């Protein structure tokens, strides 16, 4: 909230930050320094009962999302909820059902890449150039998380749910499908349950991780319902990215797409996509406009879209069902690693959840 969301909200005329809430007095004071005109309150209930609060941004540890977002919806507020929606599938489904019970209120999930101009350009200009999509991957080699709760499995849901939901959401949109089969390997190489270790974090500082409960690396292979193979590789102890471009490059991400007529490699941190034409051998680099503010590209744009949805009464592109759909790949991957066996996603979620997903609008909301 302090590093990204409050500055992005302050830059938009559509929003006025009127109140802040946090149980951590230090965090609340730091946030208030960024929004000094806002009131500070000591409980969510006091926040939700205010008549001057139209919308609530839930940017808290994952295990608090369901209770806070549910209370906000029941208080009549529009809700922007950080991903993932909950640490477990049951909680995610419960929050989806709650959002569906309030159709007149906007519920948007924090998938920044869905709103980034870079990925809009990929969808509109790059995908048609490379032809029908045949394969996709995402490689993220980065330093460690920077909050202790993220290393607790019950609080965060695990490293894959916490991180690759972004990638899974893009895959769902690009393939207009969902994963049907998932296999994965992974483990703890540096940050383990049996040690206390000091490692670089993505914030640029060194942190001490004590008996981590989550994976620190994994490889995931999946197949979508439409038959497109997907692959995701993640590493959380690579402080300079895979290529060592820059000592400050602590969160290197590459997303790749291959079609009949070409290939694209997307670099969100550089706001760049490079396209190779299979027939001519031509290499074209594209840079996107926008994305001026925020920790990730698309931060300011996602809030501008949230405001527009509230004003126009149109549902968010990254809605609650998109949040559920993006959780399938990481949840299945975690299960595959724990059970040392591939996972059939439909068996994992069951018929009731499958019926929710089948009612989703075409193209998963688009870009």
- For the stretch 233-289, pLDDT in tens is 999 998 655 444 554 455 688 999 999 999 999 988 888 899 998 888 788 877 666
Q: What is the per-residue pLDDT for 4?
A: 82
Closest CA to 152 of 110, 201, 215: 215
Sequential DSSP letters for 161-214: HHHTHHHHHHHHHHHTS-EEEEEEEEE-SSS-TT-EEEEEBTTSSEEEEES--S
Separation of alpha carbons 59 and 68, rounded Å: 10
Q: How confident is the model at residue 290 (pLDDT cuts 50, 70, 90)?
A: low
Q: Pick the residue with more confidence: 57 or 352?
A: 57
Give the pair of three-digit tokens for residue 158. Answer: 């695990």
Q: What is the per-residue pLDDT for 247?
A: 47
Q: What is the per-residue pLDDT for 251?
A: 64
Q: Can you list the positions of beta strands (E) in 52-178?
A: 55-58, 78-81, 107-109, 133-142
117 and 71 belong to one structural domain: no
> Of the given ranges (47-51, 153-157, 265-269, 322-326), which has the lowest mean pLDDT?
265-269
Give the pair of three-digit tokens for residue 202. Answer: 């993505």
Q: Is residue 304 a part of any domain in this protein?
A: no
Query: What average pLDDT does the segment 102-124 reach?
Result: 93
106 and 125 belong to one structural domain: no
Q: What is the per-residue pLDDT for 108?
A: 97
Q: How confident is the model at residue 127 (pLDDT cuts 50, 70, 90)?
A: very high
Separation of alpha carbons 304 and 4, rounded Å: 14
Q: Is residue 80 exposed (0-12), middle (13-18) or buried (19+ Cβ within 10 Å)?
A: buried
61 and 127 belong to one structural domain: no
Average pLDDT, the chain: 90
Separation of alpha carbons 120 and 48, rounded Å: 34
Structural domain including 173 reads 113-292+320-362
User: DSSP secondary-structure letter at 304?
Assistant: H
Q: Is residue 356 exposed (0-12), middle (13-18) or buried (19+ Cβ within 10 Å)?
A: middle
Q: What is the per-residue pLDDT for 322?
A: 94
Q: In CATH, what number is assigned to the domain containing residue 205?
A: 3.30.360.10
160 and 127 belong to one structural domain: yes
pTM: 0.94
Q: Phi-psi bin for 364: left (phi > 0), alpha (psi -120 to 50), beta?
A: left
Among 3-17, 19-33, 90-104, 291-305, which range has the highest average pLDDT? 90-104
Q: Residue 28 above 50 pLDDT?
A: yes
């Amino acid at each position: 909230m302090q590093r990204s969301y409050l500055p992005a909200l302050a830059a938009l005329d559509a929003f006025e930050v009127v109140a802040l809430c946090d149980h951590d007095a230090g965090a609340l004071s730091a946030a208030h320094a960024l929004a000094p005109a806002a009131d500070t309150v000591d409980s969510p209930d006091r926040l939700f009962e205010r008549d001057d609060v139209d919308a609530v941004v839930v940017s808290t540890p994952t295990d608090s999302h369901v209770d806070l977002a549910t209370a906000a919806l029941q208080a009549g507020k529009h809700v922007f909820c950080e991903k993932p929606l909950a640490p477990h599938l049951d909680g995610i489904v419960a929050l989806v059902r709650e959002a569906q019970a309030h159709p007149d209120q906007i519920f948007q999930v924090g998938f920044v890449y869905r709103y980034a101009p870079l990925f809009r350009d990929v969808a509109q200009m790059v995908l048609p150039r490379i032809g029908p999509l045949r394969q996709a991957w995402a490689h993220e080699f980065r330093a460690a998380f920077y909050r202790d709760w993220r290393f607790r499995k019950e609080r965060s849901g695990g490293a894959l749910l916490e991180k690759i939901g972004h990638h899974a959401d893009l895959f769902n949109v690009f393939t207009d499908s969902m994963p049907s089969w998932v296999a994965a390997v992974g483990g703890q190489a540096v940050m383990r349950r049996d040690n206390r270790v000091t490692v670089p974090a993505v914030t640029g500082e060194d942190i001490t991780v004590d008996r981590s409960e989550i994976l620190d690396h994994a490889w995931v292979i999946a197949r979508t319902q439409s038959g497109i193979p997907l692959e995701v590789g993640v590493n959380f102890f690579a402080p300079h990215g895979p290529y060592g471009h820059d000592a400050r490059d602590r969160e290197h991400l590459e997303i790749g797409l291959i079609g009949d007529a070409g290939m694209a490699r997307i670099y969100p941190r550089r706001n760049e996509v490079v396209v190779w034409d299979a027939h001519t051998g031509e290499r074209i680099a594209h840079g996107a406009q926008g994305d001026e503010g925020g920790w990730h590209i698309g931060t300011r744009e996602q809030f501008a879209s949230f405001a527009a949805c509230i004003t126009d009464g149109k549902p968010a592109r990254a809605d609650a069902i998109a949040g559920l759909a993006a959780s399938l790949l990481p949840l299945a991957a975690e299960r595959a690693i724990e059970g040392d066996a591939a996972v059939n996603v439909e068996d994992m979620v069951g018929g009731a959840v499958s019926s929710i997903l089948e009612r989703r609008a075409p193209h998963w909301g688009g870009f």
